[in-house]
Structure 1
Amino acid sequence: MNRYTVNDRNIISVGYDEVHKTLEIEFKLQVIHQYFGVTLDEFVALMKAPEIETHYFNNVYCHYYYDVD
Structure 2
Amino acid sequence: MDRQSVVSSNLAEVGYDPNLETLEVQFKSGGIYQYFNVPAFMYERLMSADSLGRFFNTEIKGHYPEAKV
Answer whether TM exceeds 0.5 for this pair: yes
Partners of 2:42 and 2:11 lie apart in 1 by 17
The one-letter code of the counterpart of 2:27 is F
Partners of 1:51 and 1:10 lie apart in 2 by 10
Q: Name the residue aligned to 2:13.
A: 13
Q: Name the residue aligned to 1:42.
A: 42
Structure 2 unmatched runs, 5+: none
Root mean square deviation, CA, Å: 0.5
The size of the alignment, in residue pairs, is 69
Structure 1 unmatched runs, 5+: none
Partners of 2:13 and 2:22 lie apart in 1 by 14
Superposition misfits of 4+ residues, deviation over 4 angstroms = none
Partners of 1:56 and 1:10 lie apart in 2 by 10
Question: Could you state the TM-score of these two structures normalised by the residue count of structure 1?
Answer: 0.97
Question: Could you state the TM-score of these two structures normalised by the residue count of structure 2?
Answer: 0.97
